[in-house]
Amino acid sequence: MGLLVTSDAVVEREDTFDWFCETVSSDVMPVTLSSRNTADFRAGITYMDLGVVRLSAMACSPVVSRRTSSHVRRGDPEHLQLALITQGDFRISQRGTESVITGGLVLTDTSRPSEGECAGGQIESVVLQIPRQALALGSDRVDRLLAQNLAADAGTGAILADFLKSVLARGPDCRLEELRGVGAVALDLATAFLAQQLGDPGQAPAEARAQEALQRIYRFIEHNLGDPDLTPRMIADRHNMSMRRLYALFGDQPLTIAARIRQSRLERAHADLASAELSGQPVQTIAARWGFSSATGFSRAFRETYGISPTEHRAASLVPPRHAMHRNSARHAHQRAPLGPRFSSGDTALA
């Protein structure tokens, strides 16, 4: 996780454009980028992991982006990208719709070809990357919003825009578990905004309503993983539904609800054990943080899932490869120390 790097905080180098192309294609999605002036190209990209969603801040010189069917086949994160432009104008074309975004937000789909252009001057944007399966709205309905100029100067659009900028400014001061909660809020706000653009969310088909209930339960699980009393019965009671209804929601999911809770807890513990910042905390402390009350049970479940013990995983994760420092320094040589986001009082939330 890092802070927003604006375009004037990036060192000018002859290979900045090549670095930018490589970074976007490998870390975001495969695309072809072109610019009229690659020699003086300036750019910066920062990512913030919010758990269920990811927030990106990007600044760059004028550039044209093309994503073809070939690019989609080569790599597709299956994300919806809700972009907020904070400086510059953005032209986007997707699914037969073309818009020039001079104010508002814009939604795009990584699973479809698209073309975008930042032609006037430098562009700065904030992008919320939402997994398709995490959005509790029907795909057919959401597709109608692609490449549309969505207003962000009033109502839920303005609330969402202000929230995203606030996360960029304050997020680096939050703990990892706090950021996951922030991600759930961001997803809820984005869902509410898109549902408002589509009309009365109560008109959503039964399948979409079921997906919305399922996503609410997923977010509840993520918020309460540290509670050892988190069980299917507790979840059903908190959501005012029967156990039969709860199990029906998970009927066509890859994991049962109990398995989902177990997997999510193990994933969080797995990540924390690999964190240098938490290396001083005992393994059992980390296990308890994620709802494991038994050290023996945690160790057994961890080994069954990952093939090694928690202690072995921690030891292996905290020994960096010999070439890592050289590789990382070369990759990030284009950036100075990250700066905080700078939005002037005259900025309007764009996409």
Note the pLDDT tens digit of each residue in 243-268. Answer: 999 999 898 888 899 999 999 999 99
Query: Which comes out higher in pLDDT, residue 264 or 11?
Result: 264
Residue 2 pLDDT: 35
Residues 6+ positions from 92 with CB-CB distance below 8 Å: 98, 99, 101, 106, 108, 114, 115, 116, 147
Q: Looking at 98-102, 258-262, 280-284, which range is the least confident one?
A: 98-102
At residue 210, the 3 state secondary structure works out as: helix
Residue 349 or 274, more confident: 274
Give the C-alpha separation, 226 to 212, whole Å: 23
Rounded mean pLDDT of 10-32?
83
**What is the model's pLDDT at position 94?**
95
Q: What does the mean pLDDT of the chain come to?
A: 83
pLDDT at 338 over 80: no
Give the tens place of pLDDT for each residue, 161-185.
999 999 998 998 888 878 888 888 8
Q: What is the pLDDT of residue 305?
A: 94
| 162, 197, 323 from 150: Cα distances, Å | 15, 8, 46
Q: Would the pLDDT of 327 be above 50?
A: no
The backbone torsions φ and ψ at residue 77, rounded to the nearest 5 degrees and listed phi first, read: -75, -5
Angle value at C-alpha 253, between 247 and 258, nearest 5 degrees: 55
Q: State mean pLDDT over 129-149.
A: 87
Range 316-335 average pLDDT:
56
**Nearest in space to 343 (alpha carbons), one of 101, 124, 89:** 124
pTM: 0.60
Residues 6+ apart with CB under 8 A from 205: 138
d(CA 211, CA 225): 21
Q: How far apart are the first and last CA of the chain?
A: 22
pLDDT at 10 over 50: no
Which tops the pLDDT comparison, 57 or 334? Answer: 57
Q: What is the pLDDT of residue 88?
A: 86
Answer whether residue 272 shows pLDDT above 70: yes
